Amino acid sequence: MTRDRRRATCPYMDIVATLQARLASLFPGAHSRGLQAVRLHIDAAIAHLDRGREGDATAFTDAIYRCNQAFEGSVKEAYRVLAGKDPGRTTPAKIEAFLTEQDLLRQRVLNQFTNYRTAWRNASTHDYTLDFDENEALLAIVSVTVFAIVLTEQMRSKLAAEAAEKAAPHASAPIANTVLLRDEVERHIVAFAHRHKLDVNAAASDYEGALAGYLTAQFATTPEIKVDVGLRINGREADIAVRRGDERLAIELKYMHKPLESRVLSGVEYLAELLSRGFTDGILLATVAGEQEVIATSAVTSRGQTVRAVLGTSLSKLLVDGKVD
């Protein structure tokens, strides 16, 4: 079997193609060159894996070292985008510490980050006598590629937020403390949904970033109101959180390509979990690609809590008396 044929039939090639598609969809910028280098390191790791399968057993270890370079490149470009800092002036160790200590990585990204750093990068960096085999090389390639994919999605959300904040109309006056935060946020979510009709090729991260940027613009004149993406409280993470004083309002997003009752239900129930962990209020925004009209209503969780729900018209029909039918 030729190398091209063998690589075409390997299952890990699907995730490499996914990574390439995600990289191609990012807003271009200073991060673009570094992320393409990440992809080239992963390609080189696959080539080493193939060479090892042809008889050169030392090539499997070479694959690990290429994966390590892809890992460090991914982390540096994430630092550039998420922290807004130049990675060229900071050591990799300090970058990794900064990203974790400042809670800049979403939970799913952090899980992959910890997995690769612990299982592969640290082991191969600190013990030069290690000799990896084919299965270990394959696992490393899959692990670092998945990490790059989920990290790229978080970067995509951040870049979308920055673009949306620049494009959105900014509030002209601060918001009075007497205005309920939930009511103000819901009003802006409805306005956002009416303004943003994403096409069917848009990703959930695009929608999340666009909403975060839009809300940031609306609250720009009220500095005591903060908008966070991926805020975690007691081990649970909100897609977007809006904070004012002791108030912690969680926004759960469900962006789908066709109406699904199960996703509306899961969104309502996840808000119930967030409320039990320390968030003080919750709003579900559930929309379907291509729809622009939304309806603001209330939803009751299985625990009897009431949360607000802003639903696309096709999804609003799923609620009967505030409950998913």
pLDDT of residue 290: 78
- In terms of Cβ atoms closer than 10 Å to its own Cβ (0-12, 13-18, 19+), residue 40 is middle
Range scoring the smallest mean pLDDT among 68-77, 205-214, 272-281, 314-323: 314-323
Average pLDDT over residues 196-225: 87
Q: Does the pLDDT of residue 245 top 90, yes or no?
A: yes
Q: Does the pLDDT of residue 321 top 60, yes or no?
A: no
Q: What Å distances lie between residue 89 and 79, 95, 299, CA to CA?
A: 11, 10, 49
Q: What Å distances lie between residue 125 and 23, 43, 67, 122, 135, CA to CA?
A: 27, 21, 12, 5, 19
pLDDT of residue 289: 83
Beta-bridge mates of residue 252:
284
The rounded distance, in Å, linking the Cα atoms of 284 and 118 is 36
Place of tokens 């050591």: 91
Q: Does the pLDDT of residue 5 top 50, yes or no?
A: no
> Between these two residues, 2 and 313, which has the higher pLDDT value?
313
Beta-bridge mates of residue 250:
241, 282
The rounded distance, in Å, linking the Cα atoms of 153 and 35 is 12
- pLDDT-based confidence at residue 6 (cuts at 50, 70, 90): very low
Considering only CA atoms, which of 184, 176, 163, 172 is closest in space to residue 220? 172
pLDDT of residue 256: 87
| No. of helices (H) and no. of strands (E), the chain | 12, 10
pLDDT of residue 317: 76
Answer yes or no: are the C-beta atoms of 34 and 4 closer than 8 Å.
Answer: no
- pLDDT-based confidence at residue 182 (cuts at 50, 70, 90): very high
φ/ψ bin of 167: left (φ > 0), alpha (ψ from -120 to 50), beta (otherwise): alpha
Query: Which domains, and CATH codes, for the chain?
Result: 3-155 (1.20.120), 168-324 (3.40.1350)
pLDDT of residue 198: 62
Neighbouring residues of 223: CB distance < 8 A, sequence distance ≥ 6? none
- pLDDT-based confidence at residue 283 (cuts at 50, 70, 90): very high
Strands 281-288 and 294-300: unpaired
- pLDDT-based confidence at residue 61 (cuts at 50, 70, 90): very high
Please tell me whether the overall predicted TM-score, pTM, comes out greater than 0.75 for this model: yes
Q: Does the pLDDT of residue 243 top 80, yes or no?
A: yes
> Between these two residues, 270 and 5, which has the higher pLDDT value?
270
In the predicted model, what is the mean pLDDT of the chain?
Answer: 89
Using CA of residue 19, residue 24, residue 27, residue 29, what is the dihedral sign? positive
Q: What is the DSSP letter of 170?
A: P
Average pLDDT over residues 65-70: 96
Give 118-168 pLDDT, tens digit per residue.
888 887 877 777 789 999 999 999 999 999 999 999 999 999 999 999 998
> Between these two residues, 5 and 206, which has the higher pLDDT value?
206
The rounded distance, in Å, linking the Cα atoms of 18 and 102 is 28
Considering only CA atoms, which of 185, 170, 216 is closest in space to residue 310? 185
